[in-house]
Chain A
Amino acid sequence: RKEVEQDPGPFNVPEGATVAFNCTYSNSASQSFFWYRQDCRKEPKLLMSVYSSGNEDGRFTAQLNRASQYISLLIRDSKLSDSATYLCVVNTNAGKSTFGDGTTLTVKP
C-alpha cells in the first residue's frame, strides 16, 4: 500500500463546477500536509498548506482529518485555468516528504 494515496482521476468538469479531491495517508507520524499544483511538464508549486482546523483560500478549501488520516481539497466555481494535476504531500517530522501520484483536473468550457 502506498504511503499517500489520491483519487486516481482524471476529473473532467465544466466551468463553474465544484470538484473535490481526496487523499489518505498511512503514516500516523505525519506532521504537515500540503496541496501542490503541477502544470504539464512544469515543476510543482504550492497551492496551500492544510491545517487541522481547515483553511480556505478564495475558491479553494482544504480539510484535514487526523483521526481518519484523510485530506481533501475542494475547488468551487472551477475556471479553465484550474486545469492541472493536484498533488497531495505529507511530511514527517524527520524531514521526509511523500507525494501522492496526483489527480488530473481538466476544466472544459
Chain B
Amino acid sequence: DGGITQSPKYLFRKEGQNVTLSCEQNLNHDAMYWYRQDPGQGLRLIYYSQIVNDFQKGDIAEGYSVSREKKESFPLTVTSAQKNPTAFYLCASRQVGDTQYFGPGTRLTVL
C-alpha cells in the first residue's frame, strides 16, 4: 500500500520545547515538502528537498529545521525559536510531472 504517513496525528508542545514531526513515504519520490496550514492563509512552504542530503528553505523556515538522510524520510523539527507553532503541518512528496501527494497531517498545539 503506497503513500505518505505522518506521525503523530496530534502533538502538544510546551513552551521552550523542541518537537519533531515524522514524514515517511514509500512512493519512491525524490522530492519532499513541508507546509504549514493556518486558517485563512492557505499553505505556506517551510522547507523542501529535491534529493537525498539536500534541502532548501521555503518562505517561512525560521524556527524550523529538517534533515533528509534517507529518500523515504523527511522529518521536521519545530524548535523553541518558532514563536507561534500552533498549526496544521502537511508533508508532501512529488513525482516527476509536478503532482504532489500529501500526508494526512499533524496538528501541533502549544500548551
A and B: bona fide binding partners = no
Q: Which residues in B have some Cβ–Cβ distance to A below 8 Å?
A: none
